[in-house]
């Protein structure tokens, strides 16, 4: 009898775990087929790409952080699983909401918005120090940032 | 002895038949350095394998077999802070990047041939540039691994004329350029034929775009005129003749769009006009997304397209176009149909939201749905309605003179032969 109870409890725990927080991971970008959801540009510069993993399992792909932020502004927050952006090196995916950002009009990005991502604030500060220019931004700053007006 | 003599003769003949490069005693950089300011450097049939830097005003003229190659990933020719540089009749080949120019003006490149190059020309902060009769052929492979044919950044007063560009990422990439004209260029098998970004006061006329992902990609630009261009066979995945994104004061006049997946995809355009275009046998002719009433679609010819117009519900002025599937009549004979043309198709609208639906186009259920739409659309007054559809196309077809002398001779000969047999038959 005890055994049956234990098995039952174990099964319930498993079920509850499955219904709990889903882990969202970025998917691989395919240059041949992926285009930006906002501007329709094909993703040839993967090192600047962004992704949104939707709760329904779909992905939306973006060529530039600016396009991703524009999409996030209009989307239903309940649909959002997790948003990702490539870091400065172009190799690592970062959580858009926790990353730090640097803007400078001379930084080239596919849409020439000039904003790049770093995992930590320290990394972003070091970049600004090294380049001798750039403005430090947080995720909340991106919401009010005027994309593309420097041209 | 005879055999030796024969061998010597053969050797001499072989040596004479193989083109020999002229012996070079100096490097190209030395020759450039030795040429006086504003002087002309005439190059002969020599292959130079080096990277050169130009800081002075100079004219470089090559001959048919003057060939330059880079030894590394640096540009073959690098121009910096120069006032007048002209390069003519030179081949650049098998290199990562052909020519770069920075902070320079009065650059004139003509009759240059770029062969097997990752990128052709890159110019930054330049003024008064002419790029004429260039032939640029990129490397093999997918466009994501290639550079652009011509790339222009932060420049002004640029003329790009009569160039032939193929197998590169973007044929001509233009970013933050003021006053540029692109005419009579032929661009094929790339990602975008011309890619405008933040461009002001531009015009593209008489260009031909074939088998690119998009013929003209225009983004965040203003005051751009595009007319008399021929855009065809942009029919791969995500392909379009023109994609116009977030721009204003755009004029798309008298272009021919043929056999493209989407002929014109206009998103977030303002104060723009599409007029007198021929939209022929495209999957979707015009797609209007986040449009507004200040945009006009006027006097275009929609012929043989699967979907003529589709939108996300936002409004535009759609007037006096010709539609080959218009079923109305013109009782008063004023050339304008007596009832509205409604381009609204449920399936077309769905395709805007879910592009993957395009694979079901012309399936029996979609054909049935379109027929139902046609019957019920009569009451539609606002969305995708043309209240003055033209009864006749405004398209003028120029017929080329196809007279061929030999065909004529053959035809006449055939007629006489038949006559001869016929006569023989009668006489017999």
Band of the pLDDT at A20, cuts 50, 70, 90? Answer: low
| Helices B364-376, B346-353: crossing angle, 10 deg rounding | 120
Nearest CA among B11, B79, B19, B6 for reference residue B47: B19
C-alpha distance from B198 to closest chain A C-alpha (Å): 6
Which three-class secondary structure state does DSSP give residue A65? helix
Locate the domains of chain B by residue range. Answer: 37-142+162-168, 191-398
- Does the ipTM exceed 0.85? no
CB atoms within 10 A of CB B373: 18
Q: What distance in Å separates the CA atoms of residue A105 and residue B172, rounded to the nearest whole number?
A: 22
> A44 and B243 in contact by Cβ < 8 A?
no
Nearest CA among B149, B148, B115, B110 for reference residue B129: B110
Q: What is the pLDDT of residues B319-373, one digit of tens each?
A: 999 999 898 899 999 999 999 998 887 787 677 667 778 788 788 888 888 888 8
The DSSP bridge partners found for residue B121 are: B99, B150
When pLDDT is averaged across residues B193-220 and rounded to a whole number, the result is 97
The pTM of the full predicted model, rounded to 2 decimals, is 0.84
Q: What is the pLDDT of residues B272-281, one digit of tens each?
A: 999 999 999 9
Chain B positions in Cβ-Cβ contact with residue A39 (cut-off 8 Å): 219, 245-246, 267
Q: What is the pLDDT of residues A92-151, one digit of tens each?
A: 999 999 999 999 999 999 999 999 999 999 999 999 999 999 999 999 999 889 887 665
Burial (CB count <10 Å: 0-12, 13-18, 19+), residue B128: middle
Q: Going by C-beta distance under 8 Å and a sequence separation of 6 or more, which residues neighbour residue B76?
A: B51, B52, B68, B69, B70, B92, B95, B97, B98, B99
pLDDT of residue B170: 97
When pLDDT is averaged across residues B307-322 and rounded to a whole number, the result is 89
Of A43, A44, A148, the CB nearest to B220: A148
Of the residues A39, A47, A90, the best mutation for testing chain B's interface (the one with the most B CB atoms within 10 Å of its CB) is A39
CB atoms within 10 A of CB B235: 16
| The Cα angle at residue A79 between residues A75 and A82, in degrees rounded to 5 | 95
| The Cα angle at residue A35 between residues A30 and A38, in degrees rounded to 5 | 145
Chain B positions in Cβ-Cβ contact with residue A31 (cut-off 8 Å): 142, 144
Q: What is the pLDDT of residues B83-140, one digit of tens each?
A: 999 999 999 999 999 999 999 999 999 999 999 999 999 999 999 999 999 999 999 9
> B245 and A39 in contact by Cβ < 8 A?
yes
Which three-class secondary structure state does DSSP give residue A20? coil
Nearest CA among B136, B96, B98, B135 for reference residue B118: B96
b/e map B362-372, b = 16+ CB within 10 Å: eeeebeebbee
The DSSP bridge partners found for residue B61 are: B42, B88
């Amino acid at each position: 009898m005890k055994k049956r109870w234990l098995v039952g409890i174990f099964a319930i725990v498993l079920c509850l775990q499955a219904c709990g927080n889903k882990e969202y991971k970025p998917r691989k970008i395919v240059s041949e087929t992926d285009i930006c959801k906002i501007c329709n540009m094909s993703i040839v510069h993967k090192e600047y790409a962004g992704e949104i993993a939707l709760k329904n399992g779909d992905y939306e792909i973006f060529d530039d952080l600016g396009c991703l932020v524009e999409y996030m502004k209009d989307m239903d927050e309940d649909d959002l699983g997790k948003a990702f952006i490539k870091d400065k090196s172009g190799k690592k995916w970062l959580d858009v909401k926790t990353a730090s950002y640097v803007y400078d009009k001379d930084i080239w990005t596919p849409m020439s918005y000039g904003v790049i991502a770093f995992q930590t604030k320290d990394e972003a500060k070091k970049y600004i120090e090294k380049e001798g220019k750039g403005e430090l931004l947080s995720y909340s700053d991106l919401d009010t940032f005027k994309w593309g007006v420097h041209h | 002895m005879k055999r030796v003599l024969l061998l010597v003769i053969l050797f001499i003949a072989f040596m004479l038949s193989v083109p020999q490069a002229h012996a070079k005693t100096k490097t190209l950089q030395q020759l450039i350095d030795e040429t006086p300011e504003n002087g002309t450097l005439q190059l002969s049939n020599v292959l130079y394998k080096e990277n050169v830097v130009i800081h002075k005003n100079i004219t470089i003229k090559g001959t048919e077999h003057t060939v330059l190659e880079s030894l590394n990933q640096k540009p073959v020719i690098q121009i910096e802070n120069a006032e007048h540089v002209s390069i003519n009749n030179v081949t650049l080949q098998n290199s990562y990047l052909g020519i770069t120019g920075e902070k320079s003006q009065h650059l004139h490149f003509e009759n240059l041939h770029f062969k097997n190059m990752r990128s052709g020309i890159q110019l930054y902060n330049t003024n008064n540039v002419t790029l004429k009769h260039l032939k640029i052929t990129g490397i093999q492979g997918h466009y994501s691994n290639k550079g652009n044919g011509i790339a222009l950044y932060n420049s002004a007063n640029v003329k790009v004329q009569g160039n032939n560009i193929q197998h590169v990422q973007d044929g001509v990439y233009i970013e933050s350029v003021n006053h540029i004209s692109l005419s009579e260029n032929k661009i094929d098998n790339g990602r975008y034929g011309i890619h405008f970004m933040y461009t002001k006061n531009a015009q593209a006329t008489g260009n031909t775009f074939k088998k690119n992902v998009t013929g003209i990609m225009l983004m965040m630009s203003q005051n751009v005129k595009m007319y008399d261009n021929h855009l065809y066979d942009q029919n791969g995945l995500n392909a379009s003749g023109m994609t116009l994104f977030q721009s204003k004061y755009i004029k798309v006049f008298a272009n021919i769009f043929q056999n493209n997946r989407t002929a014109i995809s206009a998103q977030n355009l303002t104060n723009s006009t599409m007029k007198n275009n021929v939209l022929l046998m495209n999957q979707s002719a015009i797609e209007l997304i986040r449009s507004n009433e200040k945009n006009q679609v006027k006097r275009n010819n929609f012929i043989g397209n699967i979907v003529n117009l589709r939108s996300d519900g936002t409004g535009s002025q759609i007037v006096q176009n010709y539609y080959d599937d218009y079923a109305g009549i013109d009782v008063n004979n004023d050339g304008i149909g007596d009832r509205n043309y409604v381009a609204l198709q449920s399936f077309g609208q769905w395709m805007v939201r879910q592009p993957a639906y395009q694979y079901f186009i012309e399936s029996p259920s979609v054909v049935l749905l379109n027929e139902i739409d046609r019957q019920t659309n009569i009451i539609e007054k606002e969305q995708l309605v043309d209240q003055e559809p033209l009864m006749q196309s405004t398209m003028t077809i120029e017929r080329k003179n196809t007279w061929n002398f030999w065909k004529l001779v053959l035809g006449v000969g055939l007629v006489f032969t038949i006559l001869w047999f016929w006569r023989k038959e009668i006489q017999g």
